[in-house]
Chains A and B, each alone.
Chain A
Protein backbone atom coordinates (compact mmCIF):
# COMPACT_ATOMS: atom_id res chain seq x y z
CA UNK A 1 0.00 0.00 0.00
CA UNK A 2 2.73 2.48 0.94
CA UNK A 3 4.47 2.00 -2.39
CA UNK A 4 1.47 3.49 -4.16
CA UNK A 5 1.93 6.75 -2.33
CA UNK A 6 4.84 7.53 -4.62
CA UNK A 7 7.59 9.92 -3.69
CA UNK A 8 5.49 12.81 -2.42
CA UNK A 9 3.67 10.95 0.33
CA UNK A 10 0.43 12.74 -0.54
CA UNK A 11 -2.83 10.90 -1.02
CA UNK A 12 -2.92 9.45 -4.54
CA UNK A 13 -5.60 10.68 -6.90
CA UNK A 14 -7.73 7.58 -6.39
CA UNK A 15 -8.27 8.58 -2.75
CA UNK A 16 -9.52 12.04 -3.62
CA UNK A 17 -11.68 11.15 -6.59
CA UNK A 18 -15.31 11.76 -5.74
CA UNK A 19 -17.76 9.07 -6.69
CA UNK A 20 -18.34 5.66 -5.27
CA UNK A 21 -19.10 5.13 -1.60
CA UNK A 22 -18.16 1.48 -1.93
CA UNK A 23 -14.92 0.29 -0.40
CA UNK A 24 -14.81 -2.64 -2.82
CA UNK A 25 -15.03 -0.29 -5.80
CA UNK A 26 -12.19 1.72 -4.34
CA UNK A 27 -10.11 -1.41 -3.76
CA UNK A 28 -10.67 -2.65 -7.27
CA UNK A 29 -9.30 0.62 -8.62
CA UNK A 30 -6.49 1.25 -6.21
CA UNK A 31 -5.39 -2.16 -4.94
CA UNK A 32 -7.11 -4.87 -6.98
CA UNK A 33 -4.73 -7.55 -5.69
CA UNK A 34 -6.35 -7.18 -2.26
CA UNK A 35 -9.80 -8.11 -3.52
CA UNK A 36 -10.54 -11.73 -2.65
CA UNK A 37 -12.38 -12.36 -5.91
CA UNK A 38 -9.35 -11.56 -8.08
CA UNK A 39 -7.31 -14.53 -6.95
CA UNK A 40 -6.62 -17.37 -9.34
CA UNK A 41 -6.07 -20.83 -7.94
CA UNK A 42 -3.44 -22.92 -9.67
CA UNK A 43 -4.93 -26.10 -11.14
CA UNK A 44 -4.96 -28.78 -8.44
CA UNK A 45 -5.79 -32.46 -8.37
CA UNK A 46 -8.67 -33.45 -6.12
CA UNK A 47 -10.19 -31.52 -3.27
CA UNK A 48 -8.19 -28.93 -1.36
CA UNK A 49 -7.97 -29.70 2.34
CA UNK A 50 -8.91 -26.66 4.32
CA UNK A 51 -11.00 -26.19 7.45
CA UNK A 52 -14.72 -25.99 6.78
CA UNK A 53 -17.28 -24.35 8.99
CA UNK A 54 -20.58 -26.10 9.32
CA UNK A 55 -24.08 -25.29 10.50
CA UNK A 56 -25.77 -21.90 10.87
CA UNK A 57 -29.43 -21.43 11.77
CA UNK A 58 -31.71 -18.41 11.97
CA UNK A 59 -35.21 -17.90 13.34
CA UNK A 60 -37.37 -14.80 13.31
CA UNK A 61 -39.65 -13.59 16.08
CA UNK A 62 -41.95 -10.57 16.30
CA UNK A 63 -39.58 -7.62 16.66
CA UNK A 64 -36.37 -9.25 15.58
CA UNK A 65 -34.37 -12.25 14.49
CA UNK A 66 -31.94 -14.74 16.04
CA UNK A 67 -28.84 -16.06 14.27
CA UNK A 68 -26.85 -18.90 15.78
CA UNK A 69 -23.98 -21.13 14.74
CA UNK A 70 -22.16 -24.16 16.11
CA UNK A 71 -18.46 -23.98 16.95
CA UNK A 72 -16.90 -26.79 14.93
CA UNK A 73 -14.60 -26.61 11.91
CA UNK A 74 -13.71 -29.84 10.13
CA UNK A 75 -11.05 -30.86 7.66
CA UNK A 76 -12.09 -34.11 6.00
CA UNK A 77 -12.95 -36.43 8.87
CA UNK A 78 -10.84 -34.46 11.35
CA UNK A 79 -12.10 -31.80 13.72
CA UNK A 80 -9.90 -28.86 12.78
CA UNK A 81 -11.14 -26.50 15.47
CA UNK A 82 -13.59 -26.85 18.35
CA UNK A 83 -14.22 -23.23 19.17
CA UNK A 84 -14.33 -21.42 15.84
CA UNK A 85 -16.80 -18.55 15.63
CA UNK A 86 -18.86 -18.33 12.49
CA UNK A 87 -21.44 -15.71 13.36
CA UNK A 88 -20.41 -12.06 13.16
CA UNK A 89 -22.06 -8.66 13.42
CA UNK A 90 -22.13 -7.06 9.97
CA UNK A 91 -23.08 -3.68 11.38
CA UNK A 92 -25.38 -2.26 14.04
CA UNK A 93 -28.53 -3.82 12.59
CA UNK A 94 -27.39 -6.96 10.83
CA UNK A 95 -25.35 -10.10 11.29
CA UNK A 96 -23.88 -12.73 9.05
CA UNK A 97 -23.16 -16.41 9.68
CA UNK A 98 -21.04 -18.45 7.33
CA UNK A 99 -20.72 -22.05 6.31
CA UNK A 100 -17.98 -23.28 4.01
CA UNK A 101 -14.24 -22.73 3.74
CA UNK A 102 -13.40 -20.98 7.00
CA UNK A 103 -10.41 -18.93 5.86
CA UNK A 104 -12.16 -17.44 2.86
CA UNK A 105 -15.36 -16.94 4.79
CA UNK A 106 -13.69 -14.95 7.55
CA UNK A 107 -11.99 -12.76 4.98
CA UNK A 108 -15.29 -12.24 3.19
CA UNK A 109 -17.00 -11.19 6.39
CA UNK A 110 -14.19 -8.78 7.20
CA UNK A 111 -14.55 -7.14 3.82
CA UNK A 112 -18.34 -7.12 4.09
CA UNK A 113 -18.23 -5.41 7.49
CA UNK A 114 -15.84 -2.86 6.11
CA UNK A 115 -17.99 -2.29 3.04
CA UNK A 116 -20.99 -1.42 5.22
CA UNK A 117 -18.97 0.71 7.61
CA UNK A 118 -17.28 2.56 4.77
CA UNK A 119 -20.57 3.38 3.10
CA UNK A 120 -21.99 4.61 6.37
CA UNK A 121 -19.03 6.88 7.04
CA UNK A 122 -18.86 8.33 3.55
CA UNK A 123 -22.59 8.85 3.08
CA UNK A 124 -23.53 9.59 6.66
CA UNK A 125 -26.40 7.09 6.42
CA UNK A 126 -26.77 3.32 6.50
CA UNK A 127 -27.47 1.16 3.49
CA UNK A 128 -30.95 -0.32 3.36
CA UNK A 129 -31.18 -3.95 4.48
CA UNK A 130 -31.87 -5.03 0.88
CA UNK A 131 -28.82 -3.05 -0.19
CA UNK A 132 -26.66 -4.86 2.31
CA UNK A 133 -28.06 -8.23 1.23
CA UNK A 134 -27.27 -7.41 -2.41
CA UNK A 135 -23.71 -6.38 -1.61
CA UNK A 136 -23.17 -9.76 0.01
CA UNK A 137 -24.58 -11.44 -3.08
CA UNK A 138 -21.96 -9.71 -5.23
CA UNK A 139 -19.19 -10.84 -2.93
CA UNK A 140 -20.26 -14.48 -3.03
CA UNK A 141 -20.48 -14.34 -6.81
CA UNK A 142 -16.93 -13.04 -7.01
CA UNK A 143 -15.83 -16.18 -5.18
CA UNK A 144 -17.44 -18.46 -7.78
CA UNK A 145 -14.10 -19.54 -9.27
CA UNK A 146 -12.94 -20.81 -5.91
CA UNK A 147 -16.32 -22.36 -5.17
CA UNK A 148 -16.02 -24.46 -8.33
CA UNK A 149 -12.78 -25.86 -6.94
CA UNK A 150 -14.40 -26.84 -3.67
CA UNK A 151 -13.74 -23.69 -1.66
CA UNK A 152 -17.30 -22.47 -1.41
CA UNK A 153 -18.57 -19.92 1.09
CA UNK A 154 -22.29 -19.85 1.81
CA UNK A 155 -23.58 -17.29 4.29
CA UNK A 156 -26.83 -16.66 6.04
CA UNK A 157 -27.60 -12.97 6.45
CA UNK A 158 -30.09 -11.55 8.93
CA UNK A 159 -30.98 -8.05 9.92
CA UNK A 160 -33.51 -5.75 11.42
CA UNK A 161 -35.21 -3.71 8.71
CA UNK A 162 -35.52 -0.25 10.23
CA UNK A 163 -38.00 0.86 7.56
CA UNK A 164 -40.32 -2.12 7.81
CA UNK A 165 -39.70 -2.55 11.53
CA UNK A 166 -39.12 -6.30 11.47
CA UNK A 167 -36.37 -8.88 11.33
CA UNK A 168 -35.54 -10.48 7.97
CA UNK A 169 -33.52 -13.50 6.88
CA UNK A 170 -31.67 -13.95 3.57
CA UNK A 171 -30.10 -17.17 2.36
CA UNK A 172 -27.64 -17.58 -0.52
CA UNK A 173 -26.36 -20.22 -2.86
CA UNK A 174 -22.75 -20.55 -4.11
CA UNK A 175 -23.50 -18.54 -7.25
CA UNK A 176 -24.66 -15.55 -5.22
CA UNK A 177 -28.36 -16.24 -5.72
CA UNK A 178 -30.24 -14.68 -2.88
CA UNK A 179 -33.63 -15.54 -1.45
CA UNK A 180 -35.53 -14.16 1.46
CA UNK A 181 -36.67 -16.79 3.95
CA UNK A 182 -39.83 -16.63 5.96
CA UNK A 183 -39.64 -17.63 9.58
CA UNK A 184 -36.46 -19.67 9.73
CA UNK A 185 -33.49 -20.90 7.70
CA UNK A 186 -30.39 -23.06 7.96
CA UNK A 187 -27.18 -23.52 5.94
CA UNK A 188 -24.20 -25.81 6.11
CA UNK A 189 -23.64 -29.53 6.36
CA UNK A 190 -26.02 -30.03 9.27
CA UNK A 191 -28.69 -27.79 7.79
CA UNK A 192 -30.87 -30.67 6.64
CA UNK A 193 -31.32 -31.90 10.20
CA UNK A 194 -31.48 -28.42 11.66
CA UNK A 195 -34.22 -27.45 9.22
CA UNK A 196 -36.22 -30.53 10.21
CA UNK A 197 -36.00 -29.53 13.85
CA UNK A 198 -36.87 -25.90 13.10
CA UNK A 199 -39.92 -27.01 11.13
CA UNK A 200 -41.33 -28.80 14.13
CA UNK A 201 -40.36 -26.26 16.78
CA UNK A 202 -40.83 -22.92 15.07
CA UNK A 203 -43.94 -20.82 15.65
CA UNK A 204 -44.52 -17.26 14.55
CA UNK A 205 -45.27 -15.92 17.99
CA UNK A 206 -42.04 -17.00 19.71
CA UNK A 207 -40.45 -14.66 22.22
CA UNK A 208 -36.82 -13.66 21.89
CA UNK A 209 -35.79 -16.18 24.54
CA UNK A 210 -37.82 -18.96 22.92
CA UNK A 211 -36.42 -18.19 19.49
CA UNK A 212 -32.90 -18.44 20.90
CA UNK A 213 -33.79 -21.78 22.50
CA UNK A 214 -35.27 -23.07 19.24
CA UNK A 215 -32.06 -22.29 17.33
CA UNK A 216 -29.93 -24.09 19.93
CA UNK A 217 -32.34 -27.07 19.79
CA UNK A 218 -31.93 -27.13 16.03
CA UNK A 219 -28.13 -27.05 16.34
CA UNK A 220 -28.34 -29.87 18.88
CA UNK A 221 -30.32 -31.96 16.40
CA UNK A 222 -27.89 -31.12 13.61
CA UNK A 223 -24.96 -32.22 15.80
CA UNK A 224 -26.88 -35.37 16.65
CA UNK A 225 -26.92 -36.58 13.06
CA UNK A 226 -24.13 -34.68 11.28
CA UNK A 227 -20.58 -35.47 12.34
CA UNK A 228 -19.31 -32.11 11.08
CA UNK A 229 -21.56 -30.10 13.41
CA UNK A 230 -20.53 -29.66 17.02
CA UNK A 231 -23.08 -29.80 19.81
CA UNK A 232 -22.78 -27.83 23.05
CA UNK A 233 -19.53 -28.98 24.70
CA UNK A 234 -20.44 -28.80 28.36
CA UNK A 235 -17.13 -30.22 29.59
CA UNK A 236 -15.11 -27.54 27.79
CA UNK A 237 -17.76 -24.85 28.11
CA UNK A 238 -17.94 -24.32 24.40
CA UNK A 239 -21.44 -23.28 23.47
CA UNK A 240 -22.99 -22.13 20.21
CA UNK A 241 -22.73 -18.45 19.32
CA UNK A 242 -26.22 -16.98 19.59
CA UNK A 243 -26.91 -13.42 18.43
CA UNK A 244 -30.09 -11.39 18.47
CA UNK A 245 -30.94 -8.39 16.33
CA UNK A 246 -33.83 -6.15 17.25
CA UNK A 247 -34.75 -2.51 17.04
CA UNK A 248 -32.12 -1.97 19.73
CA UNK A 249 -29.43 -3.27 17.43
CA UNK A 250 -27.10 -6.25 17.45
CA UNK A 251 -26.36 -8.15 20.62
CA UNK A 252 -24.59 -11.39 21.29
CA UNK A 253 -25.88 -13.52 24.14
CA UNK A 254 -23.26 -13.89 26.85
CA UNK A 255 -21.68 -17.24 27.57
CA UNK A 256 -23.73 -17.48 30.76
CA UNK A 257 -27.00 -16.94 28.88
CA UNK A 258 -26.18 -19.50 26.20
CA UNK A 259 -24.88 -22.03 28.71
CA UNK A 260 -28.18 -21.75 30.59
CA UNK A 261 -30.11 -22.55 27.40
CA UNK A 262 -27.73 -25.34 26.42
CA UNK A 263 -27.85 -26.94 29.85
CA UNK A 264 -31.65 -26.83 29.95
CA UNK A 265 -31.75 -28.53 26.55
CA UNK A 266 -29.20 -31.08 27.70
CA UNK A 267 -31.31 -31.85 30.79
CA UNK A 268 -34.38 -32.30 28.63
CA UNK A 269 -32.55 -34.64 26.30
CA UNK A 270 -31.52 -36.87 29.20
CA UNK A 271 -35.25 -37.67 29.49
CA UNK A 272 -36.10 -37.48 25.79
CA UNK A 273 -32.98 -38.06 23.68
CA UNK A 274 -34.82 -36.97 20.54
CA UNK A 275 -35.87 -33.66 22.01
CA UNK A 276 -39.28 -32.03 22.32
CA UNK A 277 -42.10 -33.76 20.49
CA UNK A 278 -44.58 -32.09 18.16
CA UNK A 279 -48.22 -33.21 18.11
CA UNK A 280 -48.95 -35.97 15.59
CA UNK A 281 -51.94 -34.28 14.12
Chain B
Protein backbone atom coordinates (compact mmCIF):
# COMPACT_ATOMS: atom_id res chain seq x y z
CA UNK B 1 0.00 0.00 0.00
CA UNK B 2 1.34 3.36 -0.99
CA UNK B 3 1.46 6.11 1.61
CA UNK B 4 0.19 9.51 0.40
CA UNK B 5 2.91 12.10 0.46
CA UNK B 6 2.62 14.80 3.04
CA UNK B 7 3.31 18.24 1.60
CA UNK B 8 3.40 21.10 4.07
CA UNK B 9 1.15 24.06 3.22
CA UNK B 10 4.21 26.33 3.11
CA UNK B 11 5.80 24.07 0.58
CA UNK B 12 2.64 23.79 -1.52
CA UNK B 13 2.23 27.57 -1.68
CA UNK B 14 5.89 28.12 -2.42
CA UNK B 15 5.64 25.64 -5.29
CA UNK B 16 2.59 27.35 -6.72
CA UNK B 17 4.20 30.76 -6.44
CA UNK B 18 7.33 29.45 -8.09
CA UNK B 19 5.24 28.00 -10.93
CA UNK B 20 3.39 31.28 -11.51
CA UNK B 21 6.52 33.40 -11.30
CA UNK B 22 8.31 31.25 -13.83
CA UNK B 23 5.44 31.55 -16.25
CA UNK B 24 5.36 35.32 -15.90
CA UNK B 25 9.12 35.66 -16.22
CA UNK B 26 9.09 34.02 -19.65
CA UNK B 27 7.06 36.86 -21.19
CA UNK B 28 8.15 40.29 -22.25
CA UNK B 29 7.51 43.29 -20.02
CA UNK B 30 5.06 46.13 -19.74
CA UNK B 31 5.82 49.46 -18.14
CA UNK B 32 3.33 51.99 -16.87
CA UNK B 33 4.32 55.51 -15.92
CA UNK B 34 2.76 58.82 -15.07
CA UNK B 35 3.37 61.90 -17.15
CA UNK B 36 1.91 65.39 -16.80
CA UNK B 37 -1.23 64.75 -18.84
CA UNK B 38 -1.98 61.25 -17.70
CA UNK B 39 -0.68 57.70 -17.60
CA UNK B 40 1.41 56.04 -20.29
CA UNK B 41 1.42 52.30 -21.03
CA UNK B 42 4.20 50.80 -23.10
CA UNK B 43 4.52 47.11 -23.86
CA UNK B 44 6.99 45.24 -25.95
CA UNK B 45 4.55 43.43 -28.19
CA UNK B 46 5.16 42.67 -31.85
CA UNK B 47 1.56 41.52 -32.33
CA UNK B 48 -0.95 44.05 -33.64
CA UNK B 49 -3.92 41.88 -32.78
CA UNK B 50 -3.22 40.52 -29.31
CA UNK B 51 -3.19 43.44 -26.95
CA UNK B 52 -1.46 43.58 -23.59
CA UNK B 53 -2.87 47.00 -22.84
CA UNK B 54 -6.55 47.78 -23.17
CA UNK B 55 -9.39 49.97 -22.13
CA UNK B 56 -11.67 48.95 -19.29
CA UNK B 57 -13.79 52.04 -18.73
CA UNK B 58 -13.85 55.83 -19.13
CA UNK B 59 -10.78 56.50 -17.01
CA UNK B 60 -9.51 52.99 -16.35
CA UNK B 61 -7.11 50.86 -18.35
CA UNK B 62 -5.61 47.45 -17.91
CA UNK B 63 -2.18 46.06 -18.68
CA UNK B 64 -1.04 42.50 -18.22
CA UNK B 65 1.82 40.09 -18.73
CA UNK B 66 1.89 36.33 -18.60
CA UNK B 67 -0.34 33.77 -20.21
CA UNK B 68 -2.52 35.35 -22.87
CA UNK B 69 -5.71 33.35 -22.45
CA UNK B 70 -5.71 33.87 -18.70
CA UNK B 71 -5.27 37.63 -18.69
CA UNK B 72 -7.62 38.01 -21.65
CA UNK B 73 -10.27 36.26 -19.59
CA UNK B 74 -9.62 38.58 -16.67
CA UNK B 75 -9.74 41.59 -18.99
CA UNK B 76 -13.14 40.64 -20.36
CA UNK B 77 -14.32 39.93 -16.82
CA UNK B 78 -13.17 43.42 -15.86
CA UNK B 79 -14.96 45.05 -18.79
CA UNK B 80 -18.14 43.20 -17.86
CA UNK B 81 -17.77 44.16 -14.21
CA UNK B 82 -17.21 47.82 -15.06
CA UNK B 83 -20.00 48.06 -17.63
CA UNK B 84 -22.49 46.32 -15.35
CA UNK B 85 -21.56 48.54 -12.44
CA UNK B 86 -21.83 51.68 -14.55
CA UNK B 87 -25.19 50.51 -15.88
CA UNK B 88 -26.54 49.65 -12.42
CA UNK B 89 -25.33 52.83 -10.71
CA UNK B 90 -23.55 55.59 -12.59
CA UNK B 91 -20.46 55.92 -14.72
CA UNK B 92 -18.69 57.77 -11.89
CA UNK B 93 -19.18 54.80 -9.59
CA UNK B 94 -16.78 52.62 -11.54
CA UNK B 95 -13.37 52.95 -9.88
CA UNK B 96 -9.98 51.36 -10.33
CA UNK B 97 -9.91 50.55 -6.63
CA UNK B 98 -13.12 48.53 -6.89
CA UNK B 99 -11.88 46.72 -9.95
CA UNK B 100 -8.47 46.02 -8.41
CA UNK B 101 -10.20 44.54 -5.39
CA UNK B 102 -12.28 42.20 -7.51
CA UNK B 103 -9.20 41.14 -9.46
CA UNK B 104 -7.27 40.56 -6.25
CA UNK B 105 -10.06 38.41 -4.83
CA UNK B 106 -10.25 36.46 -8.05
CA UNK B 107 -6.51 35.86 -8.36
CA UNK B 108 -6.21 35.12 -4.66
CA UNK B 109 -8.97 32.54 -4.63
CA UNK B 110 -7.55 30.82 -7.66
CA UNK B 111 -4.04 30.90 -6.23
CA UNK B 112 -4.97 29.26 -2.97
CA UNK B 113 -7.52 26.82 -4.33
CA UNK B 114 -6.02 23.36 -4.75
CA UNK B 115 -8.41 22.54 -7.57
CA UNK B 116 -7.13 25.12 -10.05
CA UNK B 117 -3.67 25.86 -11.33
CA UNK B 118 -2.55 29.35 -10.33
CA UNK B 119 -2.86 32.01 -13.02
CA UNK B 120 0.48 32.92 -14.57
CA UNK B 121 -0.34 36.59 -14.86
CA UNK B 122 0.54 39.91 -13.37
CA UNK B 123 -1.86 42.79 -13.90
CA UNK B 124 -1.83 46.55 -13.69
CA UNK B 125 -5.04 48.52 -13.25
CA UNK B 126 -4.69 52.28 -13.60
CA UNK B 127 -7.10 55.16 -13.37
CA UNK B 128 -6.41 58.68 -14.53
CA UNK B 129 -7.77 61.42 -12.29
CA UNK B 130 -8.68 65.06 -12.88
CA UNK B 131 -5.25 66.05 -11.55
CA UNK B 132 -1.95 64.11 -11.42
CA UNK B 133 -2.28 63.54 -7.67
CA UNK B 134 -5.58 61.73 -8.26
CA UNK B 135 -4.00 59.17 -10.58
CA UNK B 136 -4.04 55.63 -9.26
CA UNK B 137 -1.92 52.69 -10.33
CA UNK B 138 -2.39 49.24 -8.82
CA UNK B 139 -0.16 46.26 -9.48
CA UNK B 140 -1.70 42.84 -8.95
CA UNK B 141 0.72 39.94 -8.72
CA UNK B 142 -0.38 36.34 -9.34
CA UNK B 143 -1.19 35.60 -5.68
CA UNK B 144 -3.96 38.13 -5.14
CA UNK B 145 -2.06 40.87 -3.34
CA UNK B 146 -2.45 44.50 -4.35
CA UNK B 147 0.43 46.95 -4.55
CA UNK B 148 -0.36 50.64 -4.77
CA UNK B 149 2.26 52.11 -7.12
CA UNK B 150 3.31 55.69 -7.73
CA UNK B 151 5.25 57.21 -10.59
CA UNK B 152 6.31 54.20 -12.56
CA UNK B 153 6.03 50.43 -12.47
CA UNK B 154 7.22 47.52 -14.58
CA UNK B 155 5.89 43.98 -14.73
CA UNK B 156 6.94 40.90 -16.67
CA UNK B 157 10.09 39.00 -17.42
CA UNK B 158 12.76 41.48 -16.64
CA UNK B 159 10.82 43.74 -14.34
CA UNK B 160 13.50 44.15 -11.64
CA UNK B 161 16.08 45.64 -13.92
CA UNK B 162 13.55 47.69 -15.89
CA UNK B 163 11.85 48.88 -12.73
CA UNK B 164 15.05 50.09 -11.14
CA UNK B 165 16.00 51.91 -14.34
CA UNK B 166 12.61 53.65 -14.28
CA UNK B 167 12.81 54.48 -10.58
CA UNK B 168 16.13 56.23 -11.04
CA UNK B 169 15.07 58.36 -13.96
CA UNK B 170 11.33 58.95 -13.72
CA UNK B 171 10.08 62.43 -12.85
CA UNK B 172 6.48 63.48 -12.28
CA UNK B 173 6.67 66.41 -14.68
CA UNK B 174 7.65 64.45 -17.80
CA UNK B 175 5.99 65.19 -21.12
CA UNK B 176 4.52 62.36 -23.16
CA UNK B 177 7.56 62.19 -25.46
CA UNK B 178 9.98 62.15 -22.53
CA UNK B 179 8.00 59.48 -20.71
CA UNK B 180 7.87 57.38 -23.87
CA UNK B 181 11.60 57.77 -24.35
CA UNK B 182 12.27 56.60 -20.82
CA UNK B 183 9.87 53.67 -21.20
CA UNK B 184 11.43 52.47 -24.44
CA UNK B 185 14.92 52.84 -23.03
CA UNK B 186 13.91 50.85 -19.94
CA UNK B 187 12.23 48.08 -21.94
CA UNK B 188 15.43 47.68 -23.95
CA UNK B 189 17.43 46.51 -20.89
CA UNK B 190 18.20 42.76 -20.88
CA UNK B 191 18.62 40.64 -17.86
CA UNK B 192 22.23 40.18 -18.89
CA UNK B 193 22.87 43.90 -18.73
CA UNK B 194 22.85 44.42 -22.49
CA UNK B 195 20.74 46.96 -24.31
CA UNK B 196 18.53 46.65 -27.37
CA UNK B 197 16.81 49.43 -29.19
CA UNK B 198 13.13 48.85 -29.85
CA UNK B 199 11.37 50.16 -32.93
CA UNK B 200 7.80 51.36 -33.37
CA UNK B 201 6.54 48.04 -34.73
CA UNK B 202 7.73 46.16 -31.65
CA UNK B 203 5.83 48.44 -29.30
CA UNK B 204 2.28 48.69 -28.11
CA UNK B 205 1.65 52.15 -26.71
CA UNK B 206 -1.48 53.64 -25.16
CA UNK B 207 -2.32 56.51 -22.87
CA UNK B 208 -5.01 57.51 -20.43
CA UNK B 209 -5.03 61.18 -21.30
CA UNK B 210 -6.85 63.48 -18.90
CA UNK B 211 -6.82 66.33 -21.44
CA UNK B 212 -8.93 64.37 -23.93
CA UNK B 213 -12.30 66.09 -24.32
CA UNK B 214 -14.16 62.79 -24.70
CA UNK B 215 -15.56 60.92 -21.75
CA UNK B 216 -13.37 57.94 -22.59
CA UNK B 217 -9.80 58.91 -21.87
CA UNK B 218 -8.07 55.83 -23.26
CA UNK B 219 -6.27 56.19 -26.55
CA UNK B 220 -3.89 53.97 -28.47
CA UNK B 221 -0.90 55.66 -30.01
CA UNK B 222 -0.35 54.07 -33.37
CA UNK B 223 1.31 54.43 -36.72
CA UNK B 224 2.53 57.86 -37.68
CA UNK B 225 1.88 59.45 -34.34
CA UNK B 226 3.99 56.82 -32.60
CA UNK B 227 6.85 57.11 -35.09
CA UNK B 228 6.79 60.86 -34.73
CA UNK B 229 6.92 60.69 -30.95
CA UNK B 230 9.80 58.22 -31.15
CA UNK B 231 11.65 60.41 -33.64
CA UNK B 232 11.03 63.48 -31.54
CA UNK B 233 12.81 61.82 -28.72
CA UNK B 234 15.75 60.78 -30.87
CA UNK B 235 16.66 64.39 -31.47
CA UNK B 236 15.20 65.35 -28.14
CA UNK B 237 15.55 68.93 -27.25
CA UNK B 238 12.91 69.59 -24.66
CA UNK B 239 11.15 72.28 -26.66
CA UNK B 240 10.94 70.26 -29.87
CA UNK B 241 9.44 67.30 -28.10
CA UNK B 242 6.92 69.43 -26.28
CA UNK B 243 5.75 71.01 -29.52
CA UNK B 244 5.41 67.67 -31.17
CA UNK B 245 3.53 66.38 -28.19
CA UNK B 246 0.87 69.03 -28.52
CA UNK B 247 0.69 68.41 -32.22
CA UNK B 248 0.25 64.70 -31.76
CA UNK B 249 -2.49 65.24 -29.23
CA UNK B 250 -4.64 67.02 -31.74
CA UNK B 251 -4.26 64.37 -34.34
CA UNK B 252 -5.77 61.71 -32.12
CA UNK B 253 -5.92 58.53 -34.18
CA UNK B 254 -8.30 57.10 -31.71
CA UNK B 255 -9.10 53.75 -33.29
CA UNK B 256 -10.40 51.35 -30.71
CA UNK B 257 -10.74 54.12 -28.22
CA UNK B 258 -12.89 56.28 -30.44
CA UNK B 259 -16.32 56.41 -28.98
CA UNK B 260 -19.20 57.90 -27.17
CA UNK B 261 -19.04 61.64 -27.06
CA UNK B 262 -21.79 64.11 -27.75
CA UNK B 263 -23.25 65.06 -24.44
CA UNK B 264 -20.24 63.43 -22.99
CA UNK B 265 -17.90 65.42 -25.17
CA UNK B 266 -19.58 68.64 -24.24
CA UNK B 267 -19.45 67.70 -20.59
CA UNK B 268 -15.81 66.75 -20.81
CA UNK B 269 -14.86 69.85 -22.70
CA UNK B 270 -16.20 72.15 -20.08
CA UNK B 271 -14.22 70.34 -17.43
CA UNK B 272 -10.94 69.84 -19.19
CA UNK B 273 -8.56 72.40 -20.50
CA UNK B 274 -9.06 70.54 -23.82
CA UNK B 275 -6.85 71.50 -26.69
CA UNK B 276 -9.26 70.11 -29.23
CA UNK B 277 -12.78 71.43 -29.59
CA UNK B 278 -15.53 69.14 -28.32
CA UNK B 279 -16.49 67.71 -31.67
CA UNK B 280 -13.00 67.18 -33.01
CA UNK B 281 -11.79 63.66 -32.80
CA UNK B 282 -9.98 60.89 -34.53
CA UNK B 283 -10.11 60.44 -38.27
CA UNK B 284 -11.08 56.90 -39.11
CA UNK B 285 -10.56 53.93 -36.87
CA UNK B 286 -6.90 53.24 -37.37
CA UNK B 287 -5.98 50.14 -39.27
CA UNK B 288 -4.19 48.67 -36.31
CA UNK B 289 -7.37 48.33 -34.31
CA UNK B 290 -9.36 47.07 -37.27
CA UNK B 291 -7.19 44.02 -37.51
CA UNK B 292 -7.75 43.31 -33.88
CA UNK B 293 -10.97 41.39 -34.24
CA UNK B 294 -11.46 37.90 -32.94
CA UNK B 295 -10.62 36.29 -36.24
CA UNK B 296 -7.00 37.22 -36.27
CA UNK B 297 -6.48 36.45 -32.63
CA UNK B 298 -4.92 33.14 -33.57
CA UNK B 299 -1.73 34.78 -34.66
CA UNK B 300 1.03 32.75 -33.12
CA UNK B 301 2.84 34.03 -30.09
CA UNK B 302 5.88 32.26 -28.84
CA UNK B 303 4.84 29.71 -26.27
CA UNK B 304 1.58 31.50 -25.55
CA UNK B 305 3.42 34.01 -23.44
CA UNK B 306 2.76 37.50 -24.56
Contact = CB atoms under 8 A, between A and B. Distances in A.
Tell me, yes or no, whether A binds B.
yes
Interface of A: 1, 5, 8-11, 14-16, 18, 21, 23, 26-27, 30-31, 34, 85, 88-89, 91-93, 95, 110-111, 113-114, 117-118, 120-126, 162, 243, 247-252
A124 B289 contact: yes
Given A118-B79, A252-B279, A123 B87 contact: no
Nearest to A87: B262
Given A1-B88, A8-B105, A249-B261, A26 B80 contact: yes
A89 B261 contact: yes
15 contacts: A10-B109, A14-B80, A16-B76, A16-B106, A18-B73, A18-B76, A27-B84, A88-B262, A111-B87, A114-B86, A122-B79, A249-B258, A249-B281, A251-B262, A252-B278
Given A9-B102, A89-B262, A124 B77 contact: no
A264 B73 CA distance: 56
A248 B283 CA distance: 5
Interface stretch (B50-58, B182-190, B231-239): B50-58
Contacts of A114: 83, 86-87
Contact of B285 (A31, A34, A126): A126
Contacts of A122: 76, 79
Nearest to B144: A10
B74 interface: yes
A9 B284 CA distance: 40
Interface in B190-221: 216
A15 B258 contact: no
B279 A251 contact: yes
Contacts of B284: 162, 247
Interface of B: 49, 51, 54-56, 73-74, 76-77, 79-81, 83-88, 101-103, 105-106, 108-110, 216, 254, 256, 258-266, 278-285, 289-290, 292-294
Nearest to A255: B266
A95 B262 CA distance: 9
A91 to B, nearest CB: 6
Given A249-B258, A249-B281, A34 B77 contact: no
Contacts of B85: 1
Contact of A10 (B51, B102, B261): B102
Given A247-B284, A249-B258, A250-B262, 17 more contacts: A10-B109, A11-B74, A11-B102, A11-B105, A18-B73, A30-B80, A85-B263, A88-B263, A89-B261, A92-B260, A111-B87, A121-B55, A121-B83, A124-B256, A249-B282, A250-B265, A251-B262
Given A117-B83, A248-B283, A249-B258, A10 B105 contact: yes
A167 B79 CA distance: 30
A247 B283 contact: yes
Nearest to B109: A10
Nearest to A19: B76
Nearest to B110: A10
B54 A113 contact: no
B109 A124 contact: no
Contacts of B109: 8, 10
B261 A250 contact: yes
B289 A34 contact: no
Contacts of B81: 11, 15
B151 to A, nearest CB: 27
Nearest to A253: B279
B74 A16 contact: yes
A111 B83 CA distance: 10
A23 B57 CA distance: 14
A121 B83 CA distance: 10
B80 A15 contact: yes
A252 B83 contact: no
A191 B294 CA distance: 41
A118 B87 CA distance: 11
A30 B88 CA distance: 13
B83 A248 contact: no
Contacts of A250: 261-262, 265, 279
